[in-house]
Chains A and B, each alone.
Chain A
Amino acid sequence: GENVEQHPSTLSVQEGDSAVIKCTYSDSASNYFPWYKQELGKRPQLIIDIRSNVGEKKDQRIAVTLNKTAKHFSLHITETQPEDSAVYFCAATSSTSGTYKYIFGTGTRLKVLA
């Protein structure tokens, strides 16, 4: 079945440094790749997304890159701040017979050290 792998599972960086989280997906038909941030006890919040017709997208300190050939996409956070500490999930959509679903990666626990 469809699968999304995410690495690393945990990541610690010093404040001000960059953080990179990588995901690979199995369904070559996937065409939408969102990233979510989840703080403890709260709902996941969309932070950035990318569609398959674009290779890169940036929003202030956050950027996402997509390599459709290799079926992987990455989240880049620059100038990290303590409030960036959270669990980050990547996802890929998969569509079969007119229905669609979102498959999530296993999550990355990011800790930004002050």
Chain B
Amino acid sequence: GAVVSQHPSWVICKSGTSVKIECRSLDFQATTMFWYRQFPKQSLMLMATSNEGSKATYEQGVEKDKFLINHASLTLSTLTVTSAHPEDSSFYICSAGRDRYNSPLHFGNGTRLTVT
């Protein structure tokens, strides 16, 4: 159990376009999902906490208007990178838990975004 699916696995886009990444919890409901960004050989940097039915909570330094998060249902959260630039190229990975603060996080497969 506790499967998290993320799509797409990789995407290449042109500078100035927008890219949407989906994160689904397949066998459990997640009122909270987390979006991380990971640079090569670096740690998981929390970008924002996605809350079902309400606005996402962004970490300091993360642009809300650039990284739009929508959590429309208990099993789906989306991250849209708007007006992407080459510096947005990175590995984006979502995660979800069973909504207890002392329960494991389960990660999606990640999305490698390359902006040309």
* A-to-B contact residues, CB < 8 Å: 1, 31-32, 34, 42-46, 49, 51, 89, 91, 93, 95, 99-107, 109
Given A99-B57, A101-B49, A106–B105 Cβ distance below 8 Å?
Answer: no
Question: Who on chain B is nearest to A91 by CB?
Answer: B105
- Contact check, B44 vs A104: say whether CB atoms are below 8 A apart: yes
**Distance A95 CA – B51 CA, assembled complex (angstroms):** 14
Give the bracket for the number of chain B residues in contact with chain A: 20 to 34
Instruction: Report the stretch among B11-19, B65-73, B80-88, B96-104 that lies at the interface.
Output: B96-104
- Contact check, B43 vs A46: say whether CB atoms are below 8 A apart: no
Given A46-B104, A46-B105, A101–B93 Cβ distance below 8 Å?
Answer: no
Contacts of A34 in B (CB 8 A): 104-105
28 pairs, CB–CB < 8 Å, chain A vs chain B: A31-B101, A32-B101, A32-B102, A43-B93, A43-B107, A43-B109, A43-B110, A44-B93, A46-B104, A46-B106, A51-B102, A89-B44, A93-B101, A93-B102, A99-B49, A99-B51, A99-B57, A101-B34, A101-B46, A101-B49, A102-B34, A102-B95, A104-B44, A104-B46, A105-B43, A106-B42, A107-B42, A107-B43
Contacts of B105 in A (CB 8 A): 34, 46, 91, 102
Given A31-B102, A32-B102, A93-B102, A102–B107 Cβ distance below 8 Å?
Answer: no
Contacts of B41 in A (CB 8 A): 109
